[in-house]
A and B are shown apart, each in its own frame.
Chain A
């Protein structure tokens, strides 16, 4: 009986903690949304964040795109095994890169780079009382710290993903002509065959939602950090894990709500 009570108590505590956490997260989002009104407070900082979160993240996005493009071309050729005309390599590379792999793989990589960076930076500011210092100087931490990062992430993720799409396609094309003896015309024929502008639109909107989620989670976890170096480490880890999970959830969400049913 005592054991059953312990299990019930533990479950109750867990549920209560989760509900409280959801409440805190909801309040955090509400406060951040309210802070967007004060454009003068956050916009000057946004350009700096766009460079830090966006431009500085470009190399990792491009590196992923290059290898993804090469692997996709070779994988397609291997899978077709002569039954499917080889120019469909272009189709597969284009569809897979733009619809799925450029946004998701880049998003996951940036969840590590950007999410952990934000959580560690804001976490350190929190535990060293720099966030409190901002408040005492009459700065709103939401406007000064959160909004510029979320704005920069939402804007810059699609930009990085857009470049990654081009580079990934380019790498796939080079791999096709280099390893598969496919001509440029054949590769382009395949790539154009089923291309629609929606492919790019879908990938970029998805990327924007990933940027929004990764930066928001990084800010939330960072500003919730407690207890010195260990707390900052935990915040950074949690930011990466939650961001990665959220990217996969959003990926499924967009597929079910926007992609599903289109033909």
Chain B
């Protein structure tokens, strides 16, 4: 189970998370929606300890992530796959080596077993023939699929998807959605998906949470969100520029996201 409890995070004067609370139960696919800059990526970076909260707790399987010693944090990370918004593939390595990175670090498999696992995982994302290619030789959609393959190669318990369909055409987005559903069904992983693509959210989510002004505005099943009476939620899911009463509404609060910015451990102090 992943649990954010009253999490606060600010970058300088900008409050990004302001009492964020959410539970993700095992086997679920929880989709976090919200405006660009609402803090969605910041929220999931806390789960793997890439950011530390100013206040509040983040628990994964009852372990308080911010207080974990480094060694235990790395052990925990081995059970969490993270799919980055722009895939974040290691561009100096082949696709095969990218997918094998986590397996090599774990050190449990021989090189032949790693090669077999890499092949299986790339087949799982429908990319059986790209092992020897480099990330720069692939399309955006293919890179995202490799990102998913790299995350699932370790057979993690949880996968965090950071805007997996952003910037992709509708057909490729649908392929990625199908992949996320397949990962959940075939591997039984618990997923947290960040997106502002509502079609994707309805397709992959078992529950949807809307993050607004640093906290969860509403959380519920797909149907509950679709039937929401909350004007802010309605405006977002219907993609309107104004609220239902015609009042203009600025979605930028509580501050622009710094998702790719400072990280706490390893990253934040460098």
Q: Is B231's beta carbon under 8 Å from chain A?
A: no
Bound-state CA distance A81–B70 (Å) is 67
* B32-54 interface (Cβ within 8 A of A): 45, 48-50
Q: Does A136 interact with chain B (Cβ within 8 Å)?
A: yes
Q: How large is the interface on A (under 10, 10 to 19, 20 to 34, 35 or more residues)?
A: 20 to 34
Please measure, in the bound complex, the distance between the C-alpha atom of A131 and the C-alpha atom of B50, giving whole angstroms: 10
Cα distance A224–B50 in the bound complex, in angstroms: 15
Interface membership of B137, Cβ < 8 A: no
Check A28 against B77 for contact (C-beta < 8 Å). no
On whether the beta carbons of A129 and B266 are closer than 8 Å, the reply is no
B105 pairs with A132, CB closer than 8 A: no
Nearest opposing residue in chain A for B270, CB measure: A223
The smallest C-beta distance from B66 to any residue of chain A, in angstroms, reads 15
**Does A130 belong to the interface (CB within 8 Å)?**
yes
On whether A133 and B260 interact (CB within 8 A), knowing A138-B74, A139-B101, A141-B266, the answer reads: no
| CB proximity of B191 to chain A, nearest CB, Å | 15
Query: Contacts A129-B86, A133-B90, A226-B261 known; A138 to B269 CB distance under 8 Å?
Result: no
- Chain B residue at minimum C-beta to C-beta distance from A136: B82
Q: Is the CB of A130 within 8 A of B88?
A: yes
The majority secondary structure among interface residues of chain B is loop
Question: By the criterion CB–CB under 8 Å, are A136 and B266 in contact?
Answer: no
Counting CB contacts under 8 A, is B26 at the interface? no
B77, B84, B89, B261: the one within 8 Å of A138 (CB): B77
Query: Do A140 and B84 touch across chains, with their CB atoms under 8 A apart?
Result: no
Interface residues in B82-112 by Cβ distance below 8 A to A read 82, 84-86, 88-91, 101-102, 105-106
Among the interface residues A126, A127, A128, which one has the most CB atoms of the partner chain B within 10 A? A128
Contact partners of B101 in chain A: CB under 8 A: 134, 137, 139
A135 at the interface (CB under 8 A from B): yes
Assess the B50–A135 pair: CB atoms within 8 A. Answer: yes
A27 contacts the other chain (CB 8 A): yes
| Contact residues in A for B88 (Cβ distance below 8 Å) | 128-130, 132-133
A135-B77, A140-B74 known; A130+B105 contact, CB < 8 A: no
Tell me whether B265 is interfacial, beta carbon within 8 Å: yes
Q: Quick one: given A129-B260, A130-B90, A130-B91, are A136 and B269 in contact (CB under 8 Å)?
A: no
* From B70, B80, B154, B266, residue with most partner A Cβ within 10 Å: B266
Interface residues of A in 96-134 (CB under 8 A from B): 125-134
Q: Are B269 and A31 in contact (CB under 8 A)?
A: yes
CA distance A263 to B209 in the complex (A): 76
**Residue A220 at the chain B interface, CB threshold 8 Å:** yes
Q: What is the bound-complex CA distance between A128 and B89, given in angstroms? A: 9
Instruction: Determine if B266 and A142 form an interchain contact, defined as CB atoms under 8 angstroms apart.
Output: yes
Residue in contact with A136 in the complex, picked from B48, B90, B260, B261, CB distance below 8 Å: B48
Chain A CB within 8 A of B173 CB: no
User: Which one of B78, B86, B105 contacts A128 once the chains associate, using CB atoms below 8 Å?
Assistant: B86
Kindly list chain A residues whose C-beta atoms are within 8 Å of the C-beta of B262: 226
The residue among A128, A136, A224, A226 with the most chain B CB atoms within 10 A of its own CB is A136
Is the pair B82, A141 in contact by a Cβ cutoff of 8 Å? no
Nearest Cβ in chain A — how far from B209, in angstroms? 22
B263 within 8 A of A: yes
Considering the chains assembled together, what is the distance between the CA atoms of A31 and B84 in angstroms?
25
Q: How far is the CA of A224 from the CA of B260 in the complex (A)?
A: 12
Name the A residues within 8 Å of B45 (CB-CB): 132
Cα distance, A179 to B45, chains bound together (Å):
67
Is there an interface contact between A27 and B106, defined as CB atoms closer than 8 Å?
no
What residues on B are CB-neighbors of A142 within 8 Å? 266
Min Cβ gap A232→B in Å is: 13
What B residues does A130 contact at CB under 8 A? 88-91
- Is B266 a contact of A138 with CB atoms below 8 Å? no
Partner of A129, one of B48, B49, B84, B102: B84
Indicate whether B267 reaches chain A with its CB closer than 8 angstroms: yes
Question: Which residues of B have CB within 8 Å of A133?
Answer: 82, 84, 88-90, 150
- At the interface, yes or no: A24 with Cβ under 8 Å from chain B? yes
Which residues in B have their C-beta under 8 angstroms from that of A28?
269-270
Contact pick for B77, options A137, A141, A220, A223, CB 8 Å = A137
- Determine the chain A residues whose CB is within 8 A of the CB of B261 once the complex forms: 226
Mark A residues whose CB is within 8 Å of B.
24, 27-28, 31, 125-142, 220, 223-224, 226
Please name 30 pairs of A and B residues whose Cβ atoms are closer than 8 Å in the assembled complex, sorted by A: A24-B269, A28-B269, A31-B269, A125-B90, A126-B267, A127-B260, A128-B91, A129-B85, A129-B260, A130-B88, A130-B89, A132-B50, A132-B263, A132-B267, A133-B84, A133-B88, A135-B77, A135-B265, A135-B266, A135-B267, A136-B80, A136-B82, A137-B105, A138-B74, A138-B78, A139-B101, A140-B266, A141-B266, A141-B267, A226-B262
Question: With contacts A134-B101, A137-B150 known, what are 8 further pairs, Cβ within 8 A?
Answer: A27-B269, A129-B88, A130-B91, A133-B82, A133-B89, A136-B48, A140-B74, A220-B270
Closest 4 CB pairs of A and B: A223-B270, A129-B88, A136-B82, A133-B88
